[in-house]
């Protein structure tokens, strides 16, 4: 087991803890005061992004960054969406000089990481990854501090301890990259720590009121499976409750956190691949290049439908608004109307109704199949052989788990699991849990290492049970060469 980072010497000075969750699809921050944490750990505040031009209350903003032509910061989130859409409508040539970056967090998953690595914006222009992450974290940090200043709460940045969320399955290099980006964004290393997303969510769930039906699973010595389904990754682990107090729950990991790139963004990619297969890559490329604002609006509508789709109701289809210019591009290139193409290829399973593409439910569900299959297979392979399935409750957290179709698919795939539950507002579980972790890091008592770690020693040779074949003498004593002394185990 890997002991969690102990920071008791500085916890007393953490008057405010703020967590920053830079997600694949949506981002946000949350915070609480030391006095509030001590009286009620769940008294955690989040920002309402409705002031950014959103019609409804939203606790997170899209993970979208807009940089000026000289790569200086312009805006982030909903404002980046609106500003860039206006630029495209007013002056496409001018807009082409700006950098519009989205879904960039997954650039740190399963690739060689370096501070000099480059990523692409939506138009294919290259820019430094560290710049994108730094400016995004800086925006969220500054937005929090400005709110703090406006309310005249009497605190300064030196009174704030920051917690940055990361997927637990990321490599050490990716986690270090986030540390460096946070420091470049103006957060001192002495005022910052990382929080692993699935364990932060578990901490939050453990303190929920009894009427939400989840706290009852967090009893001492009990094990629970945590399935964190975000926009980019799925992180899956099993934790054990070590100690339960009135206001805090202490946990440790029983298994190493595993998972993969099976988050909600994969569903979006499947939808895009479907459009390309039906209309052609050339049509979709031109649509995204010349009418990007319409394309982004279509993808925003898809995101909304993705989160609300259920297979258990009476709904028979899903409508997605699409830009009228997609129809014009297709006709100019193919010499026929989209409506006829859909009828020829899909026999009415996808059709045009007004300004919407209308999908039969069976077709729309296919966009989820890859993610569901990967998640289900992974849980089976990882935990069925350990004989833990059926004996553990499963807690679903993360924004992607908000989608009813995902929850229903997991329940159907594992009838042996009697309890599959998720908290209200699952998308905020990681964020709020990270605030709790920042106030009291010792509540995570242990983690399972990614690898077994130890030292190579030259120790006295003992014939019984000795596996080392090579020996030598020092001062007349026979010693074993290259004997491995295990310090931490990944099992």
Domain chopping of the chain, boundaries: 8-209, 264-366, 453-488
Burial 381-405 (b: 16+ CB within 10 A, else e): ebbeeeebbeebbbbbbbbbbbbeb
Q: What is the pLDDT of residue 49?
A: 87
Token pair for 133:
């992450």
CA angle at 137 for the pair 136 and 139, rounded to the nearest 5°: 65
- For the domain 8-209, what is the CATH code? 3.30.420.40
DSSP 204-222: HHHTS-GGGS-GGG--TT-
Give the pairing type, strands 45-46 and 61-62. unpaired
Q: What is the pLDDT of residue 3?
A: 39
Q: Cα dist. 371→319, 376, 397, 406 in Å? A: 22, 8, 15, 9
Coil, strand or helix: which one is 225? strand
Token pair for 478:
């026979």
Give the pairing type, strands 420-421 and 394-397. parallel
DSSP 155-185: --GGGEEEEEEE-TTS-HHHHHHHHHHHHHT
CA-based radius of gyration for the chain: 25
Q: Cα dist. 6→171, 238, 282, 407, 445 in Å? A: 21, 22, 55, 36, 9
**CA neighbours closer than 13 Å in the CB half-sphere of residue 124:** 3
Q: For the chain, 491 residues long, give each residue's pLDDT as a single digit of tens.
A: 333 444 444 445 689 999 999 999 999 999 999 999 999 999 999 998 876 655 555 789 999 999 999 999 999 999 998 999 899 889 989 999 999 999 899 989 878 899 999 999 998 999 999 999 999 999 999 999 998 776 667 778 889 999 999 999 999 999 999 999 999 999 999 999 999 999 999 999 999 998 888 989 999 999 999 999 999 999 998 999 999 988 889 999 888 888 999 999 999 999 999 999 999 999 999 998 888 888 988 998 998 899 888 777 667 889 999 888 999 999 999 999 999 999 989 988 999 988 899 999 989 999 999 999 999 999 888 776 556 666 789 999 998 998 888 989 999 988 888 899 998 888 899 999 999 999 999 998 876 655 565 666 656 666 655 455 566 666 666 777 666 666 555 55
Token pair for 240:
């054990």
- What's the whole-model pTM score? 0.86
Give the separation between CA 167 and CA 186, rounded to whole angstroms.
22
Give the pairing type, strands 249-253 and 444-446. parallel
Q: What is the pLDDT of residue 363?
A: 92
Coil, strand or helix: which one is 309? coil
Whether the CB-CB separation of 305 and 365 falls below 8 Å is answered with no
Q: What is the pLDDT of residue 434?
A: 97
**CA neighbours closer than 13 Å in the CB half-sphere of residue 412:** 10
Give the separation between CA 302 and CA 227, rounded to whole angstroms.
24
Q: Cα dist. 171→178, 195, 330 in Å? A: 11, 14, 43
């Amino acid at each position: 087991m890997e002991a969690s980072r102990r920071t008791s010497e500085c916890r007393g000075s953490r008057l405010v803890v703020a967590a920053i969750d830079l997600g694949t699809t949506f981002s946000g921050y949350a915070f609480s005061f030391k006095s509030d944490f001590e009286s009620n750990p769940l008294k955690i505040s989040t920002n309402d992004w409705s002031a950014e031009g959103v019609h409804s209350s939203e606790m997170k903003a899209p993970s979208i960054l807009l940089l000026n032509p000289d790569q200086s910061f312009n805006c982030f989130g909903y404002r980046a969406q609106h500003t860039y859409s206006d630029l495209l409508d007013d002056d496409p040539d001018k807009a082409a000089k700006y950098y519009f970056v989205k879904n960039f967090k997954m650039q740190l998953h399963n690739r060689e990481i370096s501070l000099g690595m480059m990523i692409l914006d939506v138009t294919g222009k290259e820019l430094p990854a560290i710049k994108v992450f730094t400016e995004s974290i800086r925006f969220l940090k500054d937005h929090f501090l400005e709110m703090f200043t406006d309310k005249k709460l009497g605190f300064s940045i030196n009174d704030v301890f920051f917690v940055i969320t990361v997927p637990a399955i990321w490599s050490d290099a990716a986690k270090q990259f986030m540390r460096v980006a946070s420091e470049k964004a103006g957060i001192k290393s002495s005022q910052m720590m990382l929080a692993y997303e699935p364990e932060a969510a578990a901490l939050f769930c453990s303190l929920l009121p009894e009427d939400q039906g989840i706290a009852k699973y967090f009893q001492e010595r009990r094990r629970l499976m945590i399935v964190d389904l975000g926009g980019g990754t799925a992180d899956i682990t099993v934790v054990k409750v070590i100690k339960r107090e009135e206001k805090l729950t202490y946990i440790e990991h029983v298994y190493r956190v595993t998972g993969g790139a099976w988050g909600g963004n994969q569903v979006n990619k499947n939808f895009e691949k479907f459009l390309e297969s039906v209309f052609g890559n050339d049509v979709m490329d031109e649509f995204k290049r010349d009418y990007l604002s319409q394309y982004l609006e279509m993808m925003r509508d898809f995101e909304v439908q993705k989160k609300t789709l259920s297979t258990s109701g009476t709904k028979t289809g899903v409508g997605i608004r699409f830009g009228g210019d997609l129809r014009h591009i297709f006709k100019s290139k193919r010499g026929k109307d989209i409506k006829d193409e859909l009828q020829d290829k899909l026999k009415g399973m996808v059709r045009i109704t007004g300004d919407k593409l209308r999908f039969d439910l069976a077709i729309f569900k296919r966009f989820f199949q890859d993610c569901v299959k990967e998640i289900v297979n992974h849980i089976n392979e990882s935990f069925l052989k350990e004989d833990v399935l059926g004996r553990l409750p499963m807690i679903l957290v993360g924004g992607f788990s908000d989608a009813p179709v995902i929850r229903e698919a997991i329940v159907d795939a594992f009838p042996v699991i009697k309890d599959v539950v998720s908290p209200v507002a699952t998308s905020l579980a990681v964020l709020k849990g990270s605030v709790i972790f920042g106030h009291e890091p010792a509540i995570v008592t242990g983690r399972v290492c990614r690898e077994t770690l130890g030292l190579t020693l030259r120790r006295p040779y003992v014939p019984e049970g000795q596996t080392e074949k090579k020996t030598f003498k020092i001062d007349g004593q026979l010693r074993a060469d290259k004997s491995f002394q295990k310090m931490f185990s990944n099992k």
